[in-house]
């Protein structure tokens, strides 16, 4: 029973850690499937987290915080779109610039508005998304294995957690079963053919980056309004880059992307669990090494186990209409 409890605790932590990665990964999926490479996921998540926490602190409402976070992230995504779609700028440079802008502006605005060293005030319960207890979870809590899994693993998460995992089948349906998804994938592979069919390449790509902004806003909101009780400096901690790695690992497909994010989440949760615990033969491992372990294993997996990952053919290439 102790083993089951430990396993459930690790899997529970895996889910919580994976949510912002999953949302950011799906955000990048929409953008890159449309041919717009977006290294600025990190910056949009960070800006969304700050905006959501600031709005929730002022209005004492998690829903207002969520809305403001999505609006700010969509605004950042549109800036990226304006630079790389309308003006055909370098998409890598634009994404990096967004990351720098978000990293600096969140600290400056946080200090100017709240005078707490770049942090936002601790949020009250009504300013956060609390845990949701699923029907029957309390009654089944004492049932061995099945009850423990239901009450300890499936139940007790915030609304945004369930939204993140429901977004996976929804994204699959949008990309592979709708006209919009067909056109989105086509504009990432052969924008000239889409343009010849009388469909606006620019408008399709703008809609893709808007979807990216919405999902990165959700990811930032989760970190500031559900996982934590406010915004802290650089709270994304490189998750946007890990989400990009997971996207490549999944070969730009939504369901494999979910499993890639869960894998990183599991490694992160396991590293937290093993900190300070002596391992057989090795003994006690330095905390810094355990903290770096998920990132090291992610690089190893990307380098050696996924095979050749072929991105959308028009990815990162500005479209110039032939006259």
pLDDT bin (cut points 50, 70, 90) of residue 251 is: confident
Angle among Cα 260, 264, 267 to the nearest 5 degrees reads 140
pTM above 0.95, yes or no: no
Distance CA 31, CA 171 (A): 12
Confirm whether 197 is domain-assigned: yes
**Position 155 in a domain:** yes
Domain assignment of residue 57, yes or no: yes
Q: Is the pLDDT score of 282 beyond 70?
A: no
pLDDT level of residue 147 (50, 70, 90 thresholds)? confident
**253: part of which helix (H) or strand (E)?**
none
Q: Is 28 in contact with 243 (CB distance < 8 Å)?
A: yes
In a domain, 263, yes or no: no
Residues 257/94, Cβ–Cβ less than 8 Å: no
Please report the pLDDT score of residue 279 as a whole number. Answer: 65
Res 179: pLDDT = 93
Q: Containing H/E element for 283?
A: none
* Residue 198: pLDDT over 60: yes
Residue numbers of the domain that contains 49: 20-130+137-243
- What percent of the chain has a predicted confidence (pLDDT) above 90? 45
Classify residue 232: in a domain, yes or no.
yes
Whether 315 maps to a domain, the answer reads: no
Considering the domain boundaries, does residue 163 fall inside one? yes
Residue 283's DSSP bridge partners are 279
How many structural domains are present in the chain? 1
Q: Is residue 320 part of a domain?
A: no
Residue 13 reports pLDDT greater than 70: yes
Whole-angstrom Cα distance, residue 276 to residue 272? 9
């Amino acid at each position: 029973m102790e083993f089951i409890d430990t396993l459930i605790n690790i899997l529970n932590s895996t889910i919580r850690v994976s949510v912002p990665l999953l949302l950011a990964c799906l955000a990048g999926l929409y953008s890159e499937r449309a041919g717009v490479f977006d290294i600025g996921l990190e910056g949009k998540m960070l800006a969304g987290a700050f905006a959501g926490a600031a709005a929730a602190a002022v209005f004492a409402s998690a829903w207002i915080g969520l809305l403001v976070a999505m609006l700010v992230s969509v605004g950042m995504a549109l800036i990226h779109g304006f630079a790389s779609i309308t003006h055909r700028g370098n998409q890598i440079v634009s994404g990096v610039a967004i990351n720098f802008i978000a990293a600096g502006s969140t600290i400056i605005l946080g200090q100017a508005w709240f005078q707490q060293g770049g942090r936002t005030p601790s949020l009250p319960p009504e300013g956060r998304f609390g845990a949701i207890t699923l029907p029957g979870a309390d009654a089944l809590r004492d049932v061995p294995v099945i009850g423990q899994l239901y009450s300890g693993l499936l139940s007790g998460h915030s609304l945004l957690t369930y939204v993140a995992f429901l977004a996976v089948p929804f994204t699959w349906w949008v990309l592979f079963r709708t006209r919009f998804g067909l056109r989105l994938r086509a504009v990432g592979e052969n924008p000239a053919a889409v343009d010849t069919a009388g469909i606006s390449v620019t408008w399709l790509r703008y809609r893709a980056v808007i979807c990216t902004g919405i999902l990165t806003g959700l990811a930032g909101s989760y970190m500031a309004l559900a996982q934590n009780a406010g915004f802290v400096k650089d709270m994304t901690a490189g998750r946007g880059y890990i989400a990009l790695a997971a996207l490549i690992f999944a070969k730009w497909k939504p369901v494999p992307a979910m499993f890639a994010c869960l894998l990183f989440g599991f490694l992160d949760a396991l590293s937290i669990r093993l900190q300070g615990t002596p391992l057989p033969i090795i003994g006690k491992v330095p905390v810094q090494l355990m903290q770096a372990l998920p990132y090291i294993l992610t690089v190893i997996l990307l380098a050696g186990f996924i095979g050749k990952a072929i991105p959308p053919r028009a990815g990162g290439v500005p479209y110039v209409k032939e006259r």
